[in-house]
Amino acid sequence: MLNTFSNETIEALLHHRSIRRYKNEPVTRSQLELILRCAQQASSSSHMQTYSVISVTEPDKRRAIAAWAGGQRHVEQAPVFLVWCADLHRFDQAVAGAGGQFEPSLEYFLVATVDVSLAAQNAVIAAESMGLGAVYIGGIRNEMKKVAGLLELPELVYPVFGLCIGVPDEQPDLRPRLPQEAVFHENRYNRDAFGQTIEAYDKTYHTYASSRSGGTKDTTWSIEMRGRTKYPPRQYGDFLRDQRFKLDDGQEDQDD
């Protein structure tokens, strides 16, 4: 018992780890439907509910997405693989049906990205509470346009991340998080907090990485973060503009 306020839900939240290896056991249709009901009950900006979820079961589509995501085999192997999409197409239809129209500005892009994230996190927690494990697949954004084509996404819809779900066949160590002092501020952003905590955190992370790799990995969080910047940046601005998004609000008018 970590804290007198703790309970079953909190214990589950505190023990989250991403699961990439699954037992050869199915996730049932009624489990999946319940997970999605939990997702839909998450808060949504102005009740717009600007997201859609696509379950990918066809092996060819799984294979293609796994490759685009950088060769992540668990995308092929997971009992369930969901693609979570920000979806303003449905909102557009509803507004048009009520005689209105709207411009998909940066604010709508942000709203839909938040909406889909809140819903997906509810799905992860629901799945974990059933004894399932999950991992987000941000790698689908390597090829946002191809994923959208494969899944026949209409205008105003874009894939944000994938999610693998299955019965865990691994129990990785908990990955240490930043110290709370580095993340949590009071009344104003504390610019000194990070500098005061990074050395200790890098040491903690080094110990974790070393232990997890059987002593072969000599790294810190800072080194890992630098490594993250060496990949060519994902670019999907053109695709989003093709999908009708206007992300340049506030820019002075430009000739097209």
- Return the residues of window 208-227 that contact a copy of itself according to CB under 8 A: 220-226
24-32's contacts with Cβ under 8 Å and 24+ in sequence apart are 25/79, 25/166, 25/167, 26/79, 27/79, 27/80, 27/132, 27/165, 27/166, 27/167, 31/127, 31/130, 31/132, 32/80, 32/165
Residue 141 in the binding site for a copy of itself (CB under 8 A): yes
Cβ at position 155, least distance to a copy of itself in Å: 10
Among 64, 66, 153, 164, binds a copy of itself (CB under 8 A): 153
Question: Tokens standing for 79?
Answer: 């009992």
Distance CA(235)–CA(240), nearest Å, equals: 10
Interface positions, 154-183, toward a copy of itself (CB under 8 A): 154, 157, 160-161, 174-175, 177-178, 180, 182-183
Q: Which of 229, 233, 226 is nearest to 144 (CA)?
A: 233
Distances 106 to 79, 137, 155, 237, 244 between C-alpha atoms, Å: 35, 24, 15, 12, 11
Cβ at position 214, least distance to a copy of itself in Å: 20
Binding segment for a copy of itself (CB under 8 A), chosen from 10-18, 69-77, 165-173, 210-218, is 10-18
Among 1, 5, 24, 215, binds a copy of itself (CB under 8 A): 5
Residue 36 in the binding site for a copy of itself (CB under 8 A): yes
The DSSP secondary structure of 217-249, one letter per residue, reads ----HHHHHHHHTTSPPP--HHHHHHTT-B--T
Residue 253 in the binding site for a copy of itself (CB under 8 A): no
Q: Which of 113, 209, 200 is nearest to 157 (CA)?
A: 113
Among 61, 146, 206, 244, binds a copy of itself (CB under 8 A): 61
Cβ at position 178, least distance to a copy of itself in Å: 5
The DSSP secondary structure of 66-127, one letter per residue, reads HHHTTS-HHHHHSSEEEEEEEE-HHHHHHHHHTT-----BHHHHHHHHHHHHHHHHHHHHHH
Of 195 and 214, the one with the shorter C-beta distance to a copy of itself is: 195
Among 66, 75, 135, 164, binds a copy of itself (CB under 8 A): 135
Interface positions, 74-113, toward a copy of itself (CB under 8 A): 85, 89-91, 93-95, 97-103, 105-108, 110-111, 113
Cβ at position 106, least distance to a copy of itself in Å: 6
Residue 46 in the binding site for a copy of itself (CB under 8 A): yes
Residue 118 in the binding site for a copy of itself (CB under 8 A): yes
Residue 66 in the binding site for a copy of itself (CB under 8 A): no
Residue 254 in the binding site for a copy of itself (CB under 8 A): yes
